[in-house]
Structure 1
């Protein structure tokens, strides 16, 4: 039985200063414990099963006599129902500690993920792209959210504004968010399904990226305007103008041209071999060079401080913005990548070259895997003739409204 005592008043309790346990009555087992240091705390002594337990109810005077009696009554009611208040309190504290340890924001989680996986990324540029895309698109929406609270609603708020306009960026961003959230789950910072997962989740809310990409077009010059554009382009000085002309003549991508290195060229053979690691399809690509393309490469100075053919001022790789700036300077309604479309339109509408030859010149996948297995060549000789014809076409300034004849010589 818990010890019973005469109920004390608040005034009487305030005067208890002798070290020891002072039972205050009204609620069986409730006592004020006075420590030798003078500190005072509330204790409820009660039988829990077959053991006598002392349960702390808080310090005095922060917890008043009335507050201690109320807490003691609640605790005794739980004991009567078979609940151990001490174990219950410990469980709550443990849950709070666990909750606090998992109270990490999405931004902090993402930064930890990138830091721990930096060695697995391709290079420093890849790490920077991870950080930049998350910082630009994800953090403004959910960077400060606890990672455990990130839902599909938040992910869609990040992706939907750019899903149709910057599809490739949005698709990569989705994968990065998914990777961060998977890491957070493994680390115990969140649980449940990953709201950034595509299959079974976001595929129900967004169209597939590849379907959007098929209908997405880069601004491109009409075929009839390419000669006039090239004439203006050749009046400009600078490595950016040379790189852009080379890009047009080879129908290659901006990154492939800007990253071109001297070791990739056999100018005597009119050949540029782009290694697999620099190609979108991750396969080496042989590019036949027209005589004008060879001239452009030969005109670039070989620098001791750079391996790049079209090197930036300080020896590094040119930025994509450099080529864009050249196009804007000429006030053309196009972007560098759009010249590949101009080339494709020329090949399709104004020559008799087979479609596969043009597609291979663009380093696109040809047919399915079975067809690819049987096609062992890269149509280099046919592509060489086609690129020479394209270079010749780019030299011709078409008068307004001119009807461009089909180049019959291309059938050879």
Structure 2
């Protein structure tokens, strides 16, 4: 057998005339008229003779061609088809080449329908964009392990605990998406990384709120007819979350009622009902002023495109050296209700769009207390505009 192998030499390969030359062991040189050549490995599998290309003589040397032929000869000896095995290896290699950023973007696209506003606010993707992808985005998903995850998360694990938790959760979703695509990934990598990171020292803190007694002075300072001032004024007057307010559209307003679609609400589910917000005179005046800035029906557009960002109103309060933040006005109004009115608990919680009672109880309750809430908001508007008033009394069956 040894004498039947290695029949060719580098010199003979280079000077060979057009034709086919055997090097032995199934390795052949096919030389073309133009002087170029290619390596071919012949083998028999299941009684069928096949040929497998090993590359051009310009790219593959005689030595490399012999090593390749030797390898595939061994594969054929095991009863496996070298051509099919090479295709399988190529597919496996392609799986390993899928980069984390590509898979993360694909996972995001597939989940847009589940997110508020199809994810246009960017909240779902931002933890990945800011804390994971800058360092791991160009890494194949097959190579992502617990230590690499630990290394990128550890800088924020204690100082930005909630952000770190969201980043890990989003990454776990991306890894599951990769597995669903048929890619080789370690689905336990994020859990292992969490174990390596240990217990978080940071404890979640409530969003700072302006005491309700100080709200009138702040409201009075929002005297300019700018988008930011008007947005903050309406946020204070209605007690809604900043998300629905930023995406307030003309189509949602019917007379003195603003209807927030169920899909725009926090923690929404498929059957989340719409939420009606009564608009008192002061709120209607703010909306009328905001209409001068509207674009495509949105009352609070950003300078370039879309609507104002979640940070626009916060930055105004930051520049004024305030600890309080826009979301805190929900606490301001809730404290005001508790301390200056005898409003029933259900009405007070519904004011903020909170779910009250169990599933059965909610099924039998057919009211959203809109008229009681209108009276509350009228009283609140009097307070924030400095008009004051007496203690307000409400009962649920008014």
Q: Same fold (TM over 0.5)?
A: yes
Whether 1:219 and 2:203 are equivalent positions in the alignment is no
Contact between 2:30 and 2:40, CA under 8 Å: does it hold in 1? no
Helix, strand or coil at the partner of 2:368: coil
Contact between 2:175 and 2:185, CA under 8 Å: does it hold in 1? no
Contact between 1:226 and 1:397, CA under 8 Å: does it hold in 2? no
The corresponding residue for 1:392 is: 382
Cα distance in 2 for residues equivalent to 1:108 and 1:260: 33
Q: Give, in angstroms, the shift of residue 317 of structure 1.
A: 3.3
Contact between 2:250 and 2:299, CA under 8 Å: does it hold in 1? yes
- Change in 2 beyond 3 A, CA 1:164/1:275: farther
Q: Give, in angstroms, the shift of residue 229 of structure 1.
A: 1.7
The corresponding residue for 2:175 is: 181
Contact between 1:182 and 1:194, CA under 8 Å: does it hold in 2? no
Contact between 1:221 and 1:342, CA under 8 Å: does it hold in 2? yes
Q: Give, in angstroms, the shift of residue 43 of structure 1.
A: 10
Whether 1:271 and 2:257 are equivalent positions in the alignment is yes
Contact between 1:32 and 1:41, CA under 8 Å: does it hold in 2? no
The corresponding residue for 1:403 is: none
Cα distance in 2 for residues equivalent to 1:46 and 1:312: 68
Structure 2 portions without partners, runs of 5+: none
Contact between 2:300 and 2:308, CA under 8 Å: does it hold in 1? yes
What does residue range 157-172 of structure 1 map to in structure 2 within 5 Å?
Answer: 161=156, 165=160, 167=162, 171=166
- Change in 2 beyond 3 A, CA 1:229/1:85: same
Q: Give, in angstroms, the shift of residue 360 of structure 1.
A: 0.7
The corresponding residue for 2:93 is: 100
Whether 1:142 and 2:128 are equivalent positions in the alignment is no
Q: Give, in angstroms, the shift of residue 335 of structure 1.
A: 1.3
Alignment partner of 2:228 out of 228, 240, 247: 240
Cα RMSD after superposing both structures? 5.3
- Change in 2 beyond 3 A, CA 1:262/1:35: closer
**What per-residue deviation string (whole Å, max 9, x for no partner) do you get for residues 365-393 of structure 1?**
11221222232212223322322232233
The corresponding residue for 2:241 is: 253
Cα distance in 1 for residues equivalent to 2:303 and 2:52: 75
Cα distance in 2 for residues equivalent to 1:106 and 1:381: 52
Cα distance in 2 for residues equivalent to 1:95 and 1:348: 68
Structure 1 portions without partners, runs of 5+: 24-28, 399-405
Helix, strand or coil at the partner of 1:333: coil
Cα distance in 2 for residues equivalent to 1:271 and 1:190: 52
Alignment partner of 2:318 out of 328, 333, 341: 328
The corresponding residue for 1:382 is: 372
The corresponding residue for 1:308 is: 298
- Change in 2 beyond 3 A, CA 1:138/1:7: closer
- Change in 2 beyond 3 A, CA 1:15/1:302: closer
- Change in 2 beyond 3 A, CA 1:397/1:367: same
Cα distance in 2 for residues equivalent to 1:175 and 1:42: 50
Contact between 1:227 and 1:397, CA under 8 Å: does it hold in 2? no
- Change in 2 beyond 3 A, CA 1:204/1:408: farther
Range with bigger deviation, 288-297 or 250-259? 288-297
TM-score by length of 2: 0.70
Q: Give, in angstroms, the shift of residue 243 of structure 1.
A: 2.1
Cα distance in 1 for residues equivalent to 2:344 and 2:313: 30
What does residue range 19-58 of structure 1 map to in structure 2 within 5 Å?
Answer: none
Helix, strand or coil at the partner of 2:273: coil
Cα distance in 1 for residues equivalent to 2:321 and 2:211: 14
Helix, strand or coil at the partner of 2:220: helix
Cα distance in 1 for residues equivalent to 2:80 and 2:172: 38
Cα distance in 2 for residues equivalent to 1:158 and 1:11: 51
Cα distance in 1 for residues equivalent to 2:331 and 2:218: 15
The corresponding residue for 1:84 is: 77
Range with bigger deviation, 32-41 or 50-59? 50-59
What does residue range 335-354 of structure 1 map to in structure 2 within 5 Å?
Answer: 335-354=325-344
Cα distance in 2 for residues equivalent to 1:164 and 1:369: 38
TM-score by length of 1: 0.68
Helix, strand or coil at the partner of 1:387: helix
Cα distance in 2 for residues equivalent to 1:112 and 1:283: 30
Contact between 1:107 and 1:143, CA under 8 Å: does it hold in 2? yes
